[in-house]
Structure 1
Amino acid sequence: MMFLTLEDFKSQAKLDLVDRIIQNDHGILFQSELATITEMQSYLGIKYDVANVFNRIGTDRNALIVMYAVDILLYHIHSRLTPNQVPQIRMDRYDAAINWLKDAGSGKLVIDLPLKPVVESTTAKGNIIYSGEVKRNNRF
């Protein structure tokens, strides 16, 4: 695993349950983590420096990002086995994670993540405003 550790799962799922779901194949966990991080980056990447967010380790990581990453990953590994029988708690927590990511990415929430660096452009900036005069009636 890259960003998450097995310790991160202990607060939300029993490790033996996770092992049974992935059938002790940690490659599945690795691939699911990649998909989870990519999904999270698609929401947060507009505003935040996601490379910096997901390259952190240990206690340097944002606790909410870790929690929601575990929620999304658990949802994905559950749906891998039985898509029609994902536990309701997994669906609820997945929906909550996606809603939080949408709000965080749009700037509705203030979270402690590094912002995307501002890139100076060499092209002209600004808005072009165009309009016309009010139509005149020239009938005599």
Structure 2
Amino acid sequence: MAFLKDEDYSVLVRTEIKDILLENYSDTKLKSAEQMATSQVKNYLSGKYDVAAIFSAQDDERNSHIIMIVLDCALYHLYTSTVPKRMPDIRSQRYQDAIDWLKLVATGEATADLPIKTDGNGNKLQGIKISSKYPASNQRW
């Protein structure tokens, strides 16, 4: 079952724009963009968060921020594959903002209100992050 629903698009994009983007294409074009966006988000979140739980949630249980991120990515993929020269600046900016946030979450510099990965016993799986106050140095001679 798809994570995004048709009514999710009404928040970020007017119906007329969605129709223009899909004018010469079938639903497979939209579904393909949604799958690419969902996979993209899963790849960023999979190291720390339980992506199976995140993307199997239904209706009101879905995380609104993740819906927004997936929509921004899907719409960006639709524009780039159909009318890249007419892409609004806001669309590319929102896509870049989504990717930047995903990168911060993936590196642990930001947190998200999402279910964290657990092992079979229900213990949280947390990675180790090693950092230093000293800059990295190159010891090559």
Q: TM-score scaled to structure 2, two decimals?
A: 0.78
Equivalent residue letter for 1:31: S
| Runs of 4+ with deviation above 6 angstroms | none
Q: Which residue of 2 aligns with 1:69?
A: 70
> Residue 117 of structure 2 aligns with which residue?
116
SS at match of 2:109: coil
Q: Which residue of 1 aligns with 2:9?
A: 9
1:42 aligns with 2:65: no
- For the 8 Å contact 1:79–1:85, the answer to whether it is kept is no
8 Å CA contact 2:21, 2:79 repeated in 1: yes
Does residue 98 in structure 1 map to residue 99 in structure 2?
A: yes
The separation in 2 between residues aligned to 1:20 and 1:77, in whole angstroms, is: 11
Task: Give secondary structure in 2 for the equivalent of 1:89.
Answer: helix
Give CA-to-partner distance per residue, 1:68-125, whole Å, 9 cap, x none: 11111111101111334421111000000001111122222221111112369xxxxx
> Could you give the per-residue CA deviations for residues 43-91 of structure 1, whole angstroms, max 9, x where no partner exists?
1111011111111121101111001111111111011113344211110
Amino acid at match of 1:10: S
Helix, strand or coil at the partner of 1:52: helix
CA RMSD in angstroms comes to 1.7
8 Å CA contact 1:47–1:106 kept in 2: the answer is no
Maintained 8 Å contact 2:21/2:83: no
Structure 1: state its 5+ residue gaps: 121-140
Aligned length: 120
Which stretch of the first structure deviates more once superposed, 95-104 or 24-33? 24-33
Q: TM-score, normalised by structure 1?
A: 0.78
1: distance between equivalents of 2:110 and 2:59?
Answer: 24
Which shows bigger deviation, 74-83 or 21-30? Answer: 21-30
1-side partners of 2:96 and 2:28: how far apart? 25
Larger radius of gyration: 1
Aligned to 1:132: none
